[in-house]
Structure 1
Amino acid sequence: MSSIGRFGSAFSAVWLCAALVGCAVGPDYKTPDMAVPASWANAAKSAGPQPAQLADWWTSFGDATLSELIEEAVRKNLDVASAKAKIREARATRREKFGALAPTLEATASATANRSASGTMVSTQGSSGGTQAVSGANQSAAASNYSLFQGGFDASWELDIFGANYRSAEAATYSLQAAQEDLNDTLLTLIGDVAKYYVQARGYAARAALARQTAEAYRDTAVLARRKFEAGTTSAADAAKAEGQTYSAEADVASLDASYSEAVHRLGVLLGDGPEALVSRLSAKAAIPVPPASPRAGVPADILQSRPDVRKAERQLAEATAKIGKAEAALYPSVSLTGNISTTGLQLGELAKSSSIGFAIGPSLSLPLFNGGQLRAEVEVAEAQRDQYFVALRSTVLTALEDVENALVSLAQDRRRLDKLTASSRSYADAYELSRALYTAGGQSFLDVLDAERSLYTARDSLLQTQVSAATSYISLCKALGGGWNRPVDSSRPEIVDTHTGPHLRTRY
């Protein structure tokens, strides 16, 4: 065998092995190491490194209405529905990319009616008894009609020697996983928002009730001041100040009622309903939800697994890494194997019997030679995009750490503030009762009574605001630690089910 023949055989063997085993170009993804602290700076030292217990954390409030609203929001929220649709899109894209790894096979058939005409020689008998051929203008045309039937199969298979299709399928897999984490992140945000707006609504309702109660107390004080003024024991200024304080409290009622309505309207939209959907349902009075003891914060490394936004960012980095290999594979040759088989007959019944059969099979090679640097530029674009996703992952991790630390500080300080304001409210209540009694007996000025009333109202209102703040900080901490929806969510059912999608008459143009 000649050297050229041996080289050709070796080359063929190499290509055959590469086609059967397969390879890939570009970087293989590895989960990057994220530097995180060993412990939380603001967590209670007695908590230890135990992982956070976040399953259905909202039920720890003991508020049945809140739990019902969250269950409904998970089923009906529009952002959740959109995230489900993105998962279905990612699944279909993944099937499409994996389909490119397999051979394709198409069936073909045709039927044609044909007409052909051919020149014929017309024979004539001469006087000598010989035969003469007449051509040119004396030639006649004989026409024939026939039908031609053909059927066959076309097949092709891109061998994907350098892994372009493999990298595309790999990227699609990561994209699907990122879409699933996006749904988890949407659920985490939704649950936190429903809990937050519910607590705020209860807080606004409680503060509005306090403002109404205080306005009535101010009104009684104003009536008392008016009577004393008419009796000549006090000044008109005292009566006017008492009435002004009453109007201020009534103005607070209007402002708090508006804020309450806005929170209720927001809850209705979060549940996928209209803004007014929950107005009557939440009209019954209820206390501000009281947060339980702080959940275990675990260690900072836990959030790398518990936070869906971190997991999503990591999957997006993996997807971008796989796309580098896809772009780089375009720099190398591509090999496809194509083939076809066909049968031809003059009658339809002959296709399976006495028809003529032909086939063709062979490889095709495509090698990029010159493209003005476009393919190399596409690789550099993919690498730059990968770097962007890596930076985004680092930023997401840092934001997650910040969220937890902030929530830990806020919750701890809100609890301390709550204790102080509870004691302050009791003291101001005692001071108000004493001032009113002394004023009635003539032993204290009216300004002291007004000041005691105003201080008591401010202390009680601050106490209610801090109760809301403490509950909100607890919600923020559970969100920051990655607490979300831990039950399965069906994302396979579409929002719109099309009917009559098969062949039908057009009705619109």
Structure 2
Amino acid sequence: MNFTRTLLPLSLLLLSGCVVGPDYQKPETALPAKFTESKATSAENVALNPWWEAFRDKRLNALVHEGLGENLSVMTALERIEAAEASVTIAGAGSLPSLGVGANATAQGGHNAQDRRTITGGADASWLLDFFGQYRRAKEAATASLDAAYDDVNVARLAYLSDLVSSYVNARYFQEALALSRKNLESRRETLKLTNEIREAGAASNLDVLQTEGLVNQTLAELPGLEAGFLQAANHIATLLGVPAGTVTASLTKGSAQPMPRYTTRTGVPADLIRNRPDIRAAERRLQAATAQIGVNEANLYPSIQLGGSINASRVFTNPGVTNMTSWSFGPSLALPIFNGGELRARVKVARSQAEQQYLTWKSTVLNAVEEVENAQSALIRDGQTVAALRKVVQTNEKTLELARESYRGGASTILDVLDAERNVASARLSLAAAIRQLARDYVALNVAIGGGAEIGAAETVASK
């Protein structure tokens, strides 16, 4: 009677099919209602927004399209999906019955021995009953890790877009800087020619000529560094496309205008980042996997029951006749974790700590994303103001240079006034080119920070696997 009273509650508990461990809850963290320099308006899903098309650069668009399916980092991330999918299969297989079969044949004979042939076959089956949800939690963890692997592909795709477009911006900057330096070189050679003419007329000294020649040579010395910068940017673009360095240099040699974004970016609100940023989604999926792992470890604290059985049959052929023999067995086995030195409970504590670490990682990822958007947006706004101001500086210095040359021809000023004006023009032009490059890079950073374009080409890339 006492045995029945003890067994009945345990049987009801086992048959209920309970799942131990905490159920996953979406994480939360306090976020501001809006970004500092944006309106409190939620943005649409930006994962399919081809933001680089705002540059209106056909060559850049072609490079992005070409590289989406060829970038090695994205392809590596796709391979990790294969492993994650296999892990889901492995995790689910543990809760299913297993069956194995085998067979063998032997022959025996000799001078004094009786001829004997034996054929034996058998089958073994087992099934671990998942009463406490160990395998269900394991499959939940593996599925969450698979989702994280898909998000990691989008993280790699965003990194590729950022690197490729920024490298293209750099390449066009160095080409613009080269063109400006050559233009400055032409201007300084004209000044040198003018100085020689005035010296021949007796109105300039050899010192004036030497100072002018020095400025010409200084400009010549700047050209190789700018050429190297362009070649390095072009080589890096080739690497991002998965082709040898130098492959795309010829196609980029024909220069074009520096990329400038033609419209602004809607940043949305900070809460949108949780939906749009693939790194945040991946961190959340890893938190879910870590939470499920707590249940896996907790299930090991409880008894486990395994159903097993086997059947074996043999047939023996001898001279007198044939003998058949068959045997079978079936029954449950119970394992009780009693003495393990506290290892199993320690594993549960480790799993809980790892889940807490994953939550902190998720929270840190969210806060870093908000900071990246704030920084990129503030930089984009102010660098736009810098570009507008530098355009006026260039115009002013160019007019000043014209007036300085006319004054020098008329003898009202010295060659130093002309040289100073030329330096100011050259410096202002290069500063403007650098500011335009930074403005374009800020635009790239802002769109990447909000998760823009993370899923473009995703379906095509996965389908090609």
Place the TM-score, normalised by the shorter chain, in its bin. Answer: over 0.9
Structure 2: 5+ residue stretches without partners: none
Distance 2:358 2:7 in 1: 45
- Alignment match, 1:244: 214
Q: Residues 489 and 88 (structure 1 numbering): CA distance in 2 closer, same or farther, change over 3 Å?
A: farther
Which residue does 2:448 correspond to in 1?
A: 479
Q: 1:490 aligns with which of 458, 461, 465?
A: 461
CA apart distance, 1:481: 0.7
Q: Distance in 1 between matches of 2:370 and 2:397?
A: 40
**Correspondence list, 1:416-431, <5 A:** 416-431=385-400
> Does the CA-based 8 Å contact 1:88-1:491 persist in structure 2?
no
Q: Distance in 1 between matches of 2:285 and 2:218?
A: 55
**Distance in 2 between residues matched to 1:268 and 1:87, nearest whole Å:** 26
Q: Provide the C-alpha distance between the structure 1 equivalents of 2:99 and 2:45, rounded to a whole number of angstroms.
A: 53
- Say if 2:48 is the partner of 1:30: no
Give distance in 1, aligned partners of 2:333 and 2:45. Answer: 58
Shift in CA distance, 15/392, structure 1 to aligned 2, threshold 3 Å: closer
Say if 1:27 and 1:322, in contact at 8 Å, map to a contact too.
yes
For the residue of structure 2 that corresponds to 1:76, the secondary structure is coil
CA displacement, residues 304-344 of structure 1 (integer Å, 9 cap, x when unaligned): 01000110111111111111111222222111111122222
Counterpart CA distance in 2 for 1:414 and 1:217 is 29
Which amino acid in 1 is paired with 2:443?
A: Y
Distance 1:52 1:344, change over 3 A: closer
Higher helix share: 2
Give the alignment's TM-score, normalised by structure 2.
0.93
Distance 1:16 1:189 in 2: 49
Q: How big is the shift at 1:347?
A: 4.9
User: Which protein shows a greater Rg?
Assistant: 1
Partner in structure 2 of residue 268 of structure 1: 238
Is residue 2:74 matched to residue 1:103?
no
- 1:8 Cα deviation from its structure 2 partner: 6.7
Measured after TM superposition, the shift of residue 408 of structure 1 is 0.6
Residue 90 of structure 1: which of 73, 84, 89 is its match?
A: 84
> 1:412 maps to which residue?
381
Aligned pairs for 1:7-22 within 5 A: 7=5, 10=8, 13-14=11-12, 17-18=15-16, 22=17
Q: What SS class does the counterpart of residue 305 from structure 2 fall into?
A: strand
Does 100-109 or 220-229 show the bigger shift? 220-229
Whether contact under 8 Å (1:52, 1:481) holds in the other structure is no
Residue 373 of structure 2 corresponds to residue 397 of structure 1? no
Given that 1:52 and 1:298 are in contact with CA atoms closer than 8 Å, whether structure 2 keeps it comes out as no
Instruction: Tell me what 1:308 maps to.
Output: 278
How far the C-alpha of 1:151 sits from its partner, in A, is 1.6
| 3-state SS of 2:124 partner | strand
1:190 match: 160
Q: By how many angstroms is 1:205 displaced?
A: 0.4
- Match for 1:26: what amino acid? G
Write the distance in 1 (CA, Å) between the matches of 2:356 and 2:251. Answer: 50
Letter in 1 for 2:186: E
2:209 maps to amino acid: A
Relative to structure 1, the CA distance from residue 446 to residue 12 in structure 2 (aligned partners, 3 Å threshold; closer, same or farther) is closer
The 3-state SS of whatever aligns with 2:69 is helix
1:227 to 197, 212, 215: 197
- Would the aligned equivalents of 2:100 and 2:123 in 1 still touch at CA under 8 Å? yes
- Structure 1 SS opposite 2:118: strand
1:205 aligns with: 175
Rounded to whole Å, the distance in 1 between the matches of 2:45 and 2:304 is 51
Distance 1:362 1:39 in 2: 64
Query: Residue 80 of structure 2 aligns to which amino acid in structure 1?
Result: K
Contact 2:124 2:309 in 1 (8 A): yes
Please report how far the alpha carbon of residue 223 of structure 1 lies from its aligned counterpart in structure 2 after TM superposition.
2.5
Q: Distance in 2 between matches of 1:234 and 1:267?
A: 50
Aligned counterparts of 1:319 and 1:468: Cα–Cα separation in 2: 42
Quote how far apart the aligned CAs of 1:356 are: 3.7
Q: Distance in 1 between matches of 2:142 and 2:13?
A: 27
Task: Supply the AA of the counterpart residue of 2:30.
Answer: A
Shift of 1:48: 3.9
Whether the 8 Å CA contact 1:428–1:455 is kept in 2: the answer is yes
What is the alpha-carbon distance in structure 1 between the residues aligned to residue 462 and residue 135 of structure 2? 27
RMSD: 2.2
- Distance (Å, rounded) in 1 between the aligned partners of 2:257 and 2:323: 89
Matched, 1:51 2:44: yes
- 1:338 counterpart residue number: 308
* 1:373-384 correspondence to structure 2 within 5 Å: 373-384=342-353
Give, in angstroms, the shift of residue 16 of structure 1.
Answer: 5.6
Q: Report SS of the residue matched to 1:34.
A: coil
TM-aligned CA deviation for residue 442 of structure 1: 1.4
- Give 2:147's match in structure 1, choosing from 172, 177, 186: 177
TM-score by length of 1: 0.86
Contact 2:42–2:272 (8 Å) recurs in 1: no
What CA distance in whole angstroms lies between the structure 2 residues aligned with 1:204 and 1:399?
Answer: 31
Shift of 1:282: 0.7
Q: What is the aligned residue count? A: 459
CA contact (8 A) 2:14 2:132 kept: no
Preserved contact between residue 167 and residue 322 of structure 1 (Cα < 8 Å): yes
SS in 2 for 1:106: strand
Runs of 5+ in structure 1 lacking a partner? 118-141, 495-509
Q: CA deviation at 1:13?
A: 3.8
For residues 147-186 of structure 1, what are the structure 2 equivalents within 5 Å?
Answer: 147-186=117-156
Aligned 8 A contact 1:205 1:260 in 2: yes
Residue identity in the other structure for 2:427:
T
Partner SS for 1:303:
helix
Q: Assess if the C-alpha contact under 8 Å between 1:202 and 1:286 holds in 2.
A: yes
Amino acid at match of 1:308: P
1:226: how far off? 2.8
SS at match of 1:332: coil
SS at the partner of 2:350? helix
Deviation at 1:355, TM superposition (A): 4.0
8 Å CA contact retained: 1:85, 1:491: no
Post-superposition CA distance 1:399-450 (Å, at most 9, x none): 1001100111111011111111111111111111111111112122211111
Residue 320 of structure 1 is matched in structure 2 by 290
Shift of 1:9: 5.9
Task: Please report how far the alpha carbon of residue 60 of structure 1 lies from its aligned counterpart in structure 2 after TM superposition.
Answer: 2.0
d(CA) in 2 for partners of 1:393, 1:185:
15
